[in-house]
Amino acid sequence: TFEQASDLRKRHVGPATVTYYKKPLMIQQGHMQWLFDDKNNRYLDMFAGIVTVSVGHCHPHVLKAAEDQLKKLWHTTNIYLHPTIHEYAAKLTSKMPGNLKVAYFVNSGSEANDLAMLMSRLYTGNFDILSLRNGYHGMSPYTMGLTSLSNWKYNLANGFGVHPIVNPDPYRGPWGGPNCRDSPCTVGKRAGENTCTCGGKDCKAALQYADQIKDHIIHATHGKVAGFFAESIQGVGGTVQFPNGYLKKAYEIVRERGGVCIADEVQTGFGRLGSHFWGFETHGVIPDIVTMAKGIGNGWPLAAVVTTPEIAKTLAQKLTFNTYGGNPVACAVGKATLEVMEQENTQENSKVVGTHLLQLLDGIRQRHPQIVGDVRGKGLMIGVEFVHEQDPNRPASQVCADVFEMARDRGVLLGKGGLYGNVLRIKPPMIVTREDVEFAAAVIEEAIQ
């Protein structure tokens, strides 16, 4: 029962394990975009198990692939050849541009970023790593250093040699630097409002932010860097988008200074942003290393680092091993997930349904300007930021928490994030329909009212 489960959890599961909702929810079943609790109440899942369930809970094609593999072989580690692992590596890397043709398989986003960090140091011979403020890259002691959100960092376990760089946040520039709201860029757009003075070109304010990367490298490192980590849209940080031109310029500067560029596609990959399969493509850049997890396995523990043969080779200086990385069941699931993405064109659905949802939510922002400060995102990765009276620096965290709770009571599960916990994070399985998102938007508005 619910009571037994909560009692056991309290006594035997580590107390830092996060539970959503004042009264925790016990989910017992999932089917596509729907979840069912212990009383068989149905919920529309607009958070997809923290952006993992990319093509739907227990999707029949993925389920069959897992079942077939489970009946044949569960695990041996990759000291032996296995057809699925190699077929999957070929299929996954076929989705990548340029020379990004080699994959290492691991089990989580943190492990993928750990490995990417190590490879960037081995490959360049440099030590310093740059990552962006407000970014989230994992919770291992190494990646906790990359994560730049104070509520996720323990002061005794930070990555040594990682430098947090201030990101350009078009909505909020609290430290008084150039703010895209003062000289707005296309990311600062609103449906029906033209606030952009850069005319769709590279945002001038953002390029100034990129220049600070050079200053930082010159003044705070030995002049060279190993790597630069960035999400294509910052997820946990509250769906923060970078203005046009920023990442491209940042990549140029990092490469001039001897570093490699690492795209963390853990949330933004696999067509979620609608217009492109990978988030970095929306910025017109090709990274040297790409890390991926979450949506890659539709909820199954699977993650990967994809890079060039030259960079991949650096790890071969020593023995490299990951017991479960490239597990045959995980690879069968990953392959089947990619097949569903192709067969059902989930990327196009993200684009069409996501654009519709963005417009609906923007309508809500316009009707409730006293509390909804910003609606932003791309495809099916959307953030709704609550602030008091249009002031980006007065987060309305309690309102966000209340809307989040009320939506649950009305059958819609959302995510929540941002440094101040005042951003609703909406990232459903990419198979949601127009009707689903219309229902979710109506529930959010009712809750706000």
Instruction: Assess contact for 118 and 291: CB atoms under 8 A.
Output: no
Cβ-Cβ contacts under 8 Å for 123 (sequence gap 6 or more): 226, 260, 310, 311, 314
Give the whole-angstrom CA distance, residue 164 versus residue 172.
Answer: 17
Residue number with CB closer to ligand PMP (167 or 221): 167
The single residue among 253, 293, 403, 423 that binds ligand PMP, judged by CB under 6 A, is 293
Separation between Cα atoms, residue 394 and residue 376, nearest integer Å: 18
Query: If binding is defined by CB under 6 A, does position 266 make contact with ligand PMP?
Result: yes
Q: According to CB under 6 A, which one of 231, 288, 374, 436 is a site residue for ligand PMP? A: 231
* Binding region for ligand PMP (CB under 6 A) out of 32-40, 92-100, 228-236, 361-369: 228-236
Minimum distance, C-beta of residue 137 to ligand PMP, in the bound complex (Å): 5
Q: Which stretch binds ligand PMP (CB under 6 A): 63-71, 166-174, 262-270, 396-404?
A: 262-270
Reading across the β-sheet that carries 423-426, which strands appear in turn? Answer: 372-378, 381-386, 423-426, 415-417
Q: Is 108 in the site for ligand PMP (CB under 6 A)?
A: yes
Closest to ligand PMP by CB, 136 vs 242, is: 136
Residues present in the chain in total? 449
Check residue 227 for interaction with ligand PMP (CB under 6 A): no
Question: Rg of the chain over CA atoms, in angstroms?
Answer: 21
Residue nearest to ligand PMP (CB): 109
Min CB(418)–ligand PMP separation in Å = 13
Residue 108 or 179: the one with the smaller Cβ distance to ligand PMP is 108
Q: Is 115 in the site for ligand PMP (CB under 6 A)?
A: no
Which residues 6+ apart lie within 8 Å of 209 measured at CB?
166, 167, 168, 177, 178, 246
Number of residues that bind ligand PMP (CB under 6 A): 14
Report the residue from 131, 183, 267, 346 that binds ligand PMP according to the rule CB under 6 A: 267
Shortest distance, position 281 Cβ to ligand PMP, whole Å = 16
Which residue number, 146 or 206, has a Cβ lying nearer to ligand PMP? 146
State which of positions 122-161 bind ligand PMP (CB under 6 A): 136-138
- 163 neighbors 214 (Cβ within 8 angstroms): no
114 makes contact with ligand PMP (CB under 6 A): no
Contact in structure between 181 and 170 (CB atoms under 8 Å) = yes
Q: Which of 45, 114, 169, 264 binds ligand PMP (CB under 6 A)?
A: 264
What is 395-430 written as a DSSP string? Answer: B-HHHHHHHHHHHHHTTEE-EEESTTS-EEEE---T
From the CB of 297, what's the least distance to ligand PMP, in Å? 10
Indicate the residue type of 222: H
Compare residues 240 and 399 and give the one whose CB is closer to ligand PMP: 240
Q: Does 298 bind ligand PMP (CB under 6 A)?
A: no
Nearer to ligand PMP, 113 or 239 (CB): 113
Closest distance between ligand PMP and the C-beta of residue 242, in Å?
14
Beta carbons within 8 Å of 419's beta carbon, 6+ residues apart = 134, 149, 150, 151, 237, 238
Enclosing H/E stretch for 377: strand 372-378
Closest approach of ligand PMP to the CB of residue 449, in Å: 31
DSSP letter assigned to residue 190: B
Closest CA to 376 of 247, 182, 234: 234
CA distance 255 to 261: 8
List all residues 6 or more positions away from 203 whose beta carbon is below 8 Å from its beta carbon: 168, 180, 183, 185, 186, 187, 243, 244, 245, 246
Q: Which is nearer to ligand PMP, 148 or 179 (CB)?
A: 148
Specify the stretch interacting with ligand PMP by CB under 6 A; choose among 205-213, 261-269, 271-279, 345-353: 261-269
Among 54, 78, 84, 110, binds ligand PMP (CB under 6 A): 110
Q: Closest approach of Cβ 22 to ligand PMP, in Å? A: 23
Nearest to 322 by CA among 165, 176, 114, 141: 114
Nearer to ligand PMP, 230 or 387 (CB): 230
Q: What's the one-letter identity of residue 235?
A: G
Nearer to ligand PMP, 113 or 350 (CB): 113
3-class SS at 138? coil
Minimum distance of ligand PMP from residue 265's CB (angstroms):
8
How remote is the C-alpha of 86 from its chain's centroid? Answer: 26
**Binding residues for ligand PMP (CB under 6 A):** 108-110, 113, 136-138, 231, 235-236, 264, 266-267, 293
